[in-house]
Amino acid sequence: MNAEERYIQLFADEDFQNDIRNFANLSKEEQQAILRKYAITSKGLAHARRFMAGVSFKQDQINASETHFALQRLMMRISSVPSQKAKGRRVDLLNWMSRIAAVLAIPLLISTIYFYHKSSQLNAHSQLLATQNKTINTFTAPAGAKTQVVLPDGSVAWLNSGSSLSVPTTFDANCRELSLTGEAYFEVVKNEQAPMFVSTAQMTVKVYGTKFNVNAFADNGAIRTTLVEGKVTLIPEKSSKEYLLEPGFTASYDLETKQIKASEVEKMDAFTGWKDGKLLFQNEPFADIVNRLERWYNVDIQLSDPSLGDYNLYATFVDENIEQVLAIFASSIPIEVDYPKRKKQADGSYSKREIVIKRDVNKVIN
């Protein structure tokens, strides 16, 4: 058996691992007995001890980078491997030590699992908290409705119709992370040491304590963030750059061009009034208005003439139903509205309500 095979065999022996870890605590006679037991020289055993010293037994799993670091430390200290049989052959040290690390992994894992279970009996409460931190709850606002969510730190979020928010049971001490689909309004408790990160599909909003609205519905083609008060920064996907948004401004992140454009808000309720039951439209294209009406009233609206979507409109609604809303728009633009009967499904339920908006060629708008 050559030196390479001998050392691989020794490192696979758990008794050998224990003996070399305790070697410094033994008497000279006991140390000599260890050398004879494993037929190893003092220099060879010193190499083994240096390798083992580079690997920690305090973690609950083997860390690959840690093992690699231990190998590098040892390689810097030794340049050759003693051979029991002179064969004139140099050993590829990196390959040799990597093979030792491979055999060492199983007994090391057994040892660390043992220490993990021992320590877990002493800090069960800490382990429970760690598990809770990994628990994620997802809150959803049903179509045509809104939902209010109180976050673990006392912050509050309102979810618009068809939106969802994923929230951990508890926040980390230095970070508060949320995941949003759709639209939400936030009132965040200030904490400079633990910023909140609201992640959407392609952008993250970093928050320290503030009131703001995020509209990230996928069919909008943009993610719009509106800041009422406080401080937020916008971090586009795959970017380390942060864009500061000032209070009273709204910023739109175009999902196609990846550009951010900010503008001052004329009426804040146009962006945040939905949480209070208000629908405000400030010079918005009718196509965008239709999208918002679909979510608000849980209906499907079809524009038979796409050019109708180009009209820009102002309007404010509070308690009006969908028929009243469309009747008001019909007084401003040349449209007529059809309300087809809902179809009864096989299970006895009815299909989602559909509305068809057509151009009224006979209507003259003053």
Asked whether the predicted pLDDT for residue 124 surpasses 70, the reply is: no
- Which residues are CB-contacts of 365 (< 8 A; sequence separation ≥ 6)? 332, 333, 334
Q: What is the DSSP string of 183-217?
A: EEEEEPPP-TTS-EEEE-SSEEEEESS-EEEEEE-
Q: Where are the domains of the chain?
A: 3-122, 134-272, 278-359
> Tell me: the pLDDT tens digits for 12-54?
666 777 777 677 777 888 888 888 888 878 777 776 766 655 4
> Across residues 152-160, what is the average pLDDT?
94
Question: Comparing 134-272 with 278-359, is the CATH topology the same?
Answer: no
* Per-position b or e across 244-272, b if 16+ CB within 10 A of its CB: ebeeeebbbbebeeeebebeebeebebbb
> Tell me: the pLDDT tens digits for 270-285?
999 999 999 999 899 9
> Tell me: the pLDDT tens digits for 63-98?
444 444 444 444 444 444 444 444 444 445 445 554
> What does the pLDDT read at residue 154?
93
* 318 DSSP assignment: S
How far apart are the C-alpha atoms of 295 and 220, rounded to whole Å? 12
Q: Which two tokens stand for residue 83?
A: 């051979």
Question: Under a CB-based contact definition with an 8 Å cutoff, are residues 81 and 96 in contact?
Answer: yes
Q: What is the DSSP string of 218-239?
A: GGGSEEEEEEEES-EEEEETT-
- Which residues are CB-contacts of 92 (< 8 A; sequence separation ≥ 6)? none
> What does the pLDDT read at residue 155?
95
> What does the pLDDT read at residue 88?
41
> What does the pLDDT read at residue 223?
96
How far apart are the C-alpha atoms of 293 and 160, rounded to whole Å? 12
Backbone φ/ψ region at 314: left (φ over 0), alpha (ψ -120 to 50), beta: beta
How far apart are the C-alpha atoms of 105 and 235, rounded to whole Å? 41
Beta bridge partners of 227: 212
Question: Under a CB-based contact definition with an 8 Å cutoff, are residues 38 and 15 in contact?
Answer: no
> What does the pLDDT read at residue 335?
96
pTM over 0.85: no
> What does the pLDDT read at residue 108?
38
Q: Do β-strands 176-187 and 196-199 pair in parallel, antiparallel, or remain unpaired?
A: parallel
303 or 15, which is more confident:
303
117 or 276, which is more confident:
276
> What does the pLDDT read at residue 41?
81
Output the average pLDDT for the chain. 79
In the CATH hierarchy, which fold is given to the domain comprising 134-272? Jelly Rolls (2.60.120)
Question: Under a CB-based contact definition with an 8 Å cutoff, are residues 247 and 266 in contact?
Answer: no
- Give the CATH class of 278-359: alpha beta
Q: Which of 226, 225, 223, 242 is nearest to 234 (CA)?
A: 242
Task: State the burial class of residue 287 (Cβ atoms within 10 Å of its Cβ: 0-12, 13-18, 19+).
Answer: middle
> What does the pLDDT read at residue 366?
65
> Tell me: the pLDDT tens digits for 190-240?
998 999 999 998 999 999 889 999 999 988 889 999 999 999 999 998 887
> What does the pLDDT read at residue 11?
65
Instruction: Specify the range with the lowest mean pLDDT, choosing from 81-90, 183-192, 337-346.
Output: 81-90
Q: What angle do CA 134, 163, 177 make, to 5 degrees?
A: 30
> Tell me: the pLDDT tens digits for 321-337?
999 999 999 999 999 99
How far apart are the C-alpha atoms of 318 and 273, rounded to whole Å? 10
How far apart are the C-alpha atoms of 243 and 226, rounded to whole Å? 13
How far apart are the C-alpha atoms of 73 and 193, rounded to whole Å? 37
How far apart are the C-alpha atoms of 20 and 309, rounded to whole Å? 79
Question: Under a CB-based contact definition with an 8 Å cutoff, are residues 306 and 274 in contact?
Answer: no
Tell me what percent of the residues of the chain surpass a pLDDT of 70.
72
